Structure 1
Amino acid sequence: MSEMPTTEPLLTLSGVHTHIGQYHILQGVDLSLKRGGMTVLLGRNGAGKTTTLRTIMGLWAPSAGTVTFDGRSIGGTPTPDIAQSGIAYVPETMAVFADLTVRENMILAARSGPLDQARLDWIFKLFPALKKFWQFPAGVLSGGQKQMLAIARAIVEPRRLILIDEPTKGIAPAIIEAMITAFAELKRETTILLVEQNFRFAASLGDDVAVMDDGRIVHRGPMAELARDEALQTRLLGLSLDAHQ
C-alpha cells in the first residue's frame, strides 16, 4: 500500500532570531513553506530577507527559535549537511568560478558523481546559453548568463528546496523574460523560496508570498491576492507593484 502524500510543510521557521555581531537582524521570524511551487519573500532593503535565507542554509546560526526541514531540526546544523539533505542556495553574488569553464563549474557542483546527461539536457532547455558556452570560461558570460549558470549549478542534481536571492538584479529585460519561462518550469519539479525586488517577476511566478519588515514576517498569503490589492502593496512595501518595473 503506497504512502499518502503528506500535507506537512516542507520548511518551517518558528520564532527565529539571528544576531550578526551586535546586530539583531531576525526578530522572531515565523514562516512555513508548503511542498512544491514558489514562495516569494518580499520586503524593503534591510528587512532581513537575505539573512533569512542564510540562516536556513546554516551560514548563520539562529540565536533562538527553530528551523525545521521535512520534520527534522536543522537550525545550527553545518551548511554541508544542510546541502546534503537536499537544500540548494543561489546567493545574490552568484558565486560561479570565473576562470573555470561552464562545464567545469557544473562538474564541481555535481557532488554525487558524473554529470547526468538527461539532467543536463533538461537544464539546457531551461538555459540554452549554457550549452552554447559549455567550453568557455564562465568569466566571459554576461551577468544574466552567470546567473543562469549559478541556478544551473544549484539544480545539477535534484533538490528538494532551492533558496534563490534576487536572481534578476542587474539583469537585462530580455534575460528576465527567459528566466520567467525557466522558473515556471523549475517550480514544477521542486520547492522554491525566492527573494526578489522585481515585483513583476515575483508576481508572475509566485504562488505564495511573505512580506518582511524589521526582521519579522508581517504578511503571508497568496501572491495573486497581494498582486490585486494596490492598497495592501503600498502599506506593506511603500509602493504598488505597478510602480516597479
Structure 2
Amino acid sequence: MTRALLELKDVHTHIGAYHILHGVDLTVPTAAVTMLLGRNGAGKTTTLRTVMSLWRASQGQVSFDGAPVGGPGTRVSAPDMARMGIAYVPENMGIFADLSVKENILLAARQAKNAGQLDTARLEWIFGFFPALKKFWLHPAGKLSGGQKQMLAVARAIIEPRRLLLVDEPSKGLAPAIVQNMIDAFIELKQASTTILLVEQNFNFARLVGDHVAVMDNGRVVHAGNMAQLAADDELQTRLLGLSLGSHQ
C-alpha cells in the first residue's frame, strides 16, 4: 500500500465560536492526486487551511511525512511548511496585485534571487500550459483577468518542485481550453512524484486527475476511496454530492 505523506486524525477546527471541522480523518498517499470533494460549506477549504496552520486544529493531529505539524501543542508555521516543500494555492489566489507576473513568480522561487536564476526549463514548461503568463510577464498581476490570476497562482506554487501541493479550486474562472491545460499540468506533476491534495468543483476535472477521493459533509470525511470507482457509480455520487459526475462532463 502506498505510504501516506499527509495524514489528519480526528482533526477539529474552531473559528471563533463556530465548530467547523468535526473529527476529520484523511490520508493523502504519496505521489498521487487526492481529490477533496463535497458540497459548499462541507469544510474543504477549512481542512486545507488547517493543514497549513493558517487555522489551528483544536483537537487531533496533522502529520506530514510521519512528523506532527498541527494540533494542540504542535503548530508548524506556514513559512516553515513552505520550507518543508509544501505549497498552498488558496481559492482567493493570494497573488501580489501591485507586482508584475515576473516578480510574483520570483518571490515564490526560493532558490532564485533574480530572474536570471530561475530554472529556465521549468519556466518554459509552465508557459507551455499557461501562455498568457509569458505574454504578460512584465504586467502588474492586478491587471490580469480572473482566469489569468488563477494561472499565476498555480504557477507560483509549481515554479519549484514541491513535495506536497494543496490547491483550492484551480479551474475556477478558467476557459475550457485552459482547464484542459491545468489538467495536463497536474497529471505531469503527479508523474514527477508530486503529492497533490486538490479541492475542485469541476467533477470532470476530478475524474480525469484524481487517483483517490475523500468526500466531506458537515465537517467530516464521509467517504474515502478510489476516484475511478466513485466516477463509475452514479448512485454513490448522487448520495454523497447531490448530483452525478456524468451530468457535468
Q: Are residues 1:205 and 2:180 paired? A: no
Paired with 2:160 and 2:174, the residues of 1 have a C-alpha distance of: 25
Deviations 1:29-58 (A, max 9, x none): 111111112100000111100000000011
Gaps of 5+ in 1: 1-5
Q: Are residues 1:73 and 2:72 paired? A: no
Paired with 2:174 and 2:3, the residues of 1 have a C-alpha distance of: 36
Counterpart residue type for residue 44 of structure 1: R
2:49 is aligned, of 49, 54, 57, to 54
Counterpart residue type for residue 195 of structure 2: T
Paired with 1:210 and 1:194, the residues of 2 have a C-alpha distance of: 10
Q: Which moved more, 1:135-144 or 1:40-49?
A: 135-144
1:15 is aligned, of 2, 6, 10, to 10
1:134 is aligned, of 134, 137, 140, to 137
CA contact (8 A) 1:57 1:83 kept: no
| Alignment match, 2:111 | 112
TM-superposed CA distance for 1:7, in Å, is: 4.3
Q: TM-score if structure 1 supplies the norm length? A: 0.93
1:153 is aligned, of 146, 156, 159, to 156
Identical columns (%) = 68
Paired with 1:177 and 1:18, the residues of 2 have a C-alpha distance of: 34
- Which of structure 1's runs of 4+ aligned residues deviate more than 6 A? none
Paired with 1:134 and 1:176, the residues of 2 have a C-alpha distance of: 20
Deviations 1:111-145 (A, max 9, x none): 23332223212222232221222122222322222
Gaps of 5+ in 2: none
| Alignment match, 1:3 | none
TM-superposed CA distance for 1:231, in Å, is: 0.3
2:197 is aligned, of 189, 193, 197, to 193
Q: What SS does the aligned partner of 2:12 have? A: strand
Q: Are residues 1:34 and 2:38 paired? A: no
Aligned length: 240
Paired with 1:98 and 1:184, the residues of 2 have a C-alpha distance of: 29
CA contact (8 A) 2:130 2:178 kept: no
CA contact (8 A) 1:14 1:65 kept: yes
Q: TM-score if structure 2 supplies the norm length? A: 0.92
Deviations 1:72-128 (A, max 9, x none): 110021111111111100000111122211111111112233322232122222322
2:19 is aligned, of 20, 24, 41, to 24
| Alignment match, 1:216 | 220
Counterpart residue type for residue 62 of structure 2: V
Q: Are residues 1:63 and 2:52 paired? A: no
CA contact (8 A) 1:127 1:182 kept: no
CA contact (8 A) 1:47 1:214 kept: yes
Paired with 1:183 and 1:129, the residues of 2 have a C-alpha distance of: 18
Paired with 2:32 and 2:129, the residues of 1 have a C-alpha distance of: 17
